Structure 1
Amino acid sequence: MALAVSLTALFPPSPARAADAVATYKKAVEAQFAQWLQGLWPEAEAAGVSRKTFETQLKGLKLDWSLPQLEPPDPAYPGGPAMPQAMKPKPKPQAEFGVPENYFKSRSLNALAAGGRVKYKQLAPQLTAIQKQYGVPASIILAIWGRETGFGQAALPYDAITAIATQAFMGRRAEEFRPQLIGALKIIQLGHATRAEMKSSWAGAMGHTQFLPGDFEDYAVDFDGDGDRDIWSSVPDALASAGNSLHSQGWDGKQPWAYEIELPKGFDCTLQGPDQALPIREWIDLGVRRVRDRPFPEERLGDWTFLVLPAGMKGPAFLATTNFSVLKLYNNSDVYAIFVGHVADMIAYNAPAEFVGEWQPVERFTRDRMLRFQEVLVAQGHDVGKVDGLVGFKTRQSIGEQEKKFKLPLTCYPSEALVGQVLKAASAQ
């Protein structure tokens, strides 16, 4: 066996044989995909999709092998052809998890804010009406529009049906996409859009404000009064749909999205996260102050807020309101919510791109190393949230607890001094 492996490495298959192997494998996977699609019929029928729509849109559908975040089956099916070596991912430098500061480059923030102000002048009557109806500031809706599609200028090159079906069959989050495929069929059947109009991102998000089919079903509205819910070509419909989405999921028009704050020296950063929310007045009692010596609104001192430290004690700090959590329902990321909220403030109040809190240098880790670190913490009984190699608030809380244990400076952000000790201790057991 060792000799065979060595010979294979020394004498790889000819290009023609390699191409034949790829074609054979893909043909086998496509056959499995066709069977899988037919197996969706009972679920689609129960959801109200007609047989005509089902057959017309899915018959002969092929996988889009170019999409990111795919995990093709290996082998193609039990006992079937294995994935050819030529198709297997080539070794790459391990990716780092995202450093929060990189999301907030002044050039990008200023460009989006400037674009948002231009759009506000162009669409003031519609935006005013949307804000009045849904209670969501026009600046927030503009910031989402700018972030998602560059105010409608971003290319959406994919066929939504193909993209969603491919992700539902062999994507990393396949089960999340399965109901979206049925939702996409319903959009076509009900005449909301044609197949040709349903261009999307690689993940099947559509229109100016990037709705998945489920979002469309739940939140899309006809705001321009033409009888259609059109998030693809009607800007008023798309922006109002985003407003309706936020409003329906709990946006409170009396609160901001968050307050940037300053923490007292020696503050316990493990107090961050929505599971440790307190009224603003109690944060004040703990020494928390709003930046630029601005007072918190007197009428809001009873509002429950929670601490968000995207870079632990090595970056800006925020007291987040319910609205921050609503923004995360649009895209489940702390930095996304901060980005949208901050750009909205820049649009509405001409706020500067820079936060008052400074981003300090942080150590960099590969996502695989951080994933292993999380796995060890979970094995020790810590709740790190999703074990995904990313540093969410629960992972930051756990880091702080470990820093206390090892008597390291309290930062609630990964350092080699901590990660190395935790992994070394785990490997010694």
Structure 2
Amino acid sequence: MGIQKAKNRIGMMLAAAGFSVAFALAAGPASADAGFQQWVASFRSVAAKSGVSGNTYDRAFRGITAPDPEVLEKARYQPEFTAPVWDYFDNRVHENSVAVGREMARKWKPWLDRIEARYGVDRYILLSIWSMESNYGEILKNDKVMRNVVRSLATLAYGDKRRAKFARTQLIAALKILQSGDIDESHLTGSWAGAMGHTQFIPTSYQAYAVDADGNGRRDIWTSVPDALATAANLLRKNGWQSGKTWGYEVVIPAGKLPAGSKTLAQWESLGVERANGKAFRRGGDKAELKVPDGRGGPAFLMTKNFYVLKNYNNADKYALAVGLLADEIAGHGGLVQDWKRPFTKLSFEEKQELQQRLSANGYYDGKADGKIGDGSRSAIKAFQAQMGLTQDGHPSKEVLKFLRGR
């Protein structure tokens, strides 16, 4: 079939579905995807039944004629590397995230005062979430990470069977956000899976919790830090955050088996569980659950209700614990007493950056020297270790850095 005949056929199908032919084919045949365009055309009526106007729909999809291949690649990607617990925390709770958090606490103090007073959520928890979700907004500046939310969600709805139902729901919500006027289509950006703004809300969560904290008439979590932090605080408050209480405590546990389940702090204390810093528990009647994410040889924690409220943001123990630990360090309460069980000597954040820079200078690494050790850094370390006749474990260790410095 010739190109013009193909265009005519696609045009007739789209017109029958109530879609603008000129709009749908505007990008030309080289970048167009007929199957995707047909799906977009058919979904227009689904959106309309949910209250999305034709004008909003056409405006949202203007220029979008093919799915985003990188979104589908990320959706399919199953990492072979299962991060040990120390790796997860080392990449999130470190000197730089603490220092920037303290800087942001000073910079945004007037707004944090207001948000904390209104919602009752600890400012350091909000700063920690901001760090975890977007590196204090730095990710939003990265065009390689941020994508058109409408295109990303349409791609998943069209091309990913596992996420299709989720993506359709989120796409309708994103279109309604656009229709509300809170943001325009050029700024409706997010991650490959549709998480948006400084505090990375999916569209349905945005609809449920978004706040116009700065009073400009728009709930703008993309460019307004007050709106983003207040939105995070609103989510936590509405899910049961207990004002003035902690997320949990690092503890020391006695030898022998301990009972499972929730008990009061006083009951745990009677079983020989003590705070790692030697201080007393503040509220003996509060209930908590014992967790040892790195086994008995690593740090142990008693998690109170606020820990489980944090899991409404991301339903993973490691995430909620990282938020709590980073918040404590930003607030100046100190880090872990018992460190994670690493099989190597830990590097500082600056030393990790130096490690990446030296690996790059020697031709092993082509990523950013951002101090975060991901798959690319580990692969580079393994390649260097192989050449040097070292054990190929990929660990960012003092030993590897010492070898690199000697090159």
Shift of 1:294: 1.2
Aligned counterpart in structure 2 of residue 44 of structure 1, from 28, 42, 47: 47
Give the secondary-structure state (helix, strand or coil) at the position aligned to 2:242: coil
- 1:350-373, CA deviations, whole angstroms, 9 ceiling, x for partnerless residues? 1334x12232258xxxxxxxxxxx
Shift of 1:327: 1.2
Q: Which residue of 1 is the match for residue 108 of structure 2?
A: 123
Whether the 8 Å CA contact 1:61–1:162 is kept in 2: the answer is no
Q: Which residue of 2 is the match for residue 153 of structure 1?
A: 138
Distance 1:309 1:38 in 2: 51
Give the secondary-structure state (helix, strand or coil) at the position aligned to 1:163: helix
Q: Which residue of 2 is the match for residue 35 of structure 1?
A: 38
Shift of 1:129: 0.6
Q: Which residue of 2 is the match for residue 337 of structure 1?
A: 320
Whether the 8 Å CA contact 1:209–1:231 is kept in 2: the answer is yes
Cα distance change of structure 1 residues 358 and 347 upon mapping to structure 2, 3 Å threshold: closer
Whether the 8 Å CA contact 1:314–1:361 is kept in 2: the answer is no
Aligned counterpart in structure 1 of residue 340 of structure 2, from 340, 343, 359: 359
Give the secondary-structure state (helix, strand or coil) at the position aligned to 2:240: coil
- Say if 2:301 is the partner of 1:318: yes
Q: Which residue of 1 is the match for residue 74 of structure 2?
A: 69
User: Aligned runs of 1:183-262 on 2, under 5 Å?
Assistant: 183-262=173-252
Give the secondary-structure state (helix, strand or coil) at the position aligned to 2:307: helix
Cα distance change of structure 1 residues 101 and 58 upon mapping to structure 2, 3 Å threshold: same
Aligned counterpart in structure 2 of residue 55 of structure 1, from 55, 58, 82: 58
Shift of 1:208: 1.0
User: Aligned runs of 1:76-87 on 2, under 5 Å?
Assistant: none
Q: Which residue of 1 is the match for residue 156 of structure 2?
A: 167
Distance 1:218 1:106 in 2: 30
Q: Which residue of 2 is the match for residue 103 of structure 1?
A: 88
Distance 1:351 1:224 in 2: 30
Task: Name stretches of at least 5 consecutive residues in structure 2 with no aligned partner.
Answer: 1-28, 344-407
Shift of 1:106: 8.1
- 1:294-339, CA deviations, whole angstroms, 9 ceiling, x for partnerless residues? 1111xx2222211222223242111111111111111122111111
Give the secondary-structure state (helix, strand or coil) at the position aligned to 1:307: strand
- 1:148-200, CA deviations, whole angstroms, 9 ceiling, x for partnerless residues? 11211122431111112212333343322221111110111111111111121
Shift of 1:46: 3.3
Give TM-score scaled by structure 1 length: 0.67
Q: Which residue of 2 is the match for residue 180 of structure 1?
A: 170
Q: Which amino acid aligns with 2:224?
A: S
Distance 1:106 1:187 in 2: 33
Q: Compare 169-178 and 322-331 and name the one that shifted more.
A: 169-178
- CA RMSD, aligned part only? 2.6
Give the secondary-structure state (helix, strand or coil) at the position aligned to 2:250: strand
Task: Name stretches of at least 5 consecutive residues in structure 1 with no aligned partner.
Answer: 1-25, 72-88, 363-429
Cα distance change of structure 1 residues 170 and 326 upon mapping to structure 2, 3 Å threshold: farther
Q: Compare 102-111 and 337-346 and name the one that shifted more.
A: 102-111
Distance 2:240 2:133 in 1: 21
Cα distance change of structure 1 residues 35 and 253 upon mapping to structure 2, 3 Å threshold: same
Shift of 1:42: 4.6
Q: Which amino acid aligns with 2:270?
A: D
Runs of 4+ in structure 1 over 4 Å off: none
Q: Compare 246-255 and 307-316 and name the one that shifted more.
A: 307-316
Whether the 8 Å CA contact 1:277–1:304 is kept in 2: the answer is yes
The percent of aligned pairs where both chains have the same amino acid is: 39
Give the secondary-structure state (helix, strand or coil) at the position aligned to 1:345: helix
Distance 1:358 1:266 in 2: 21
User: Aligned runs of 1:350-429 on 2, under 5 Å?
Assistant: 350-353=332-335, 355-360=336-341
Q: Compare 180-189 and 281-290 and name the one that shifted more.
A: 281-290
Cα distance change of structure 1 residues 35 and 129 upon mapping to structure 2, 3 Å threshold: same
Whether the 8 Å CA contact 1:70–1:170 is kept in 2: the answer is no
Q: Which amino acid aligns with 2:65?
A: L
Q: Which amino acid aligns with 1:246?
A: L
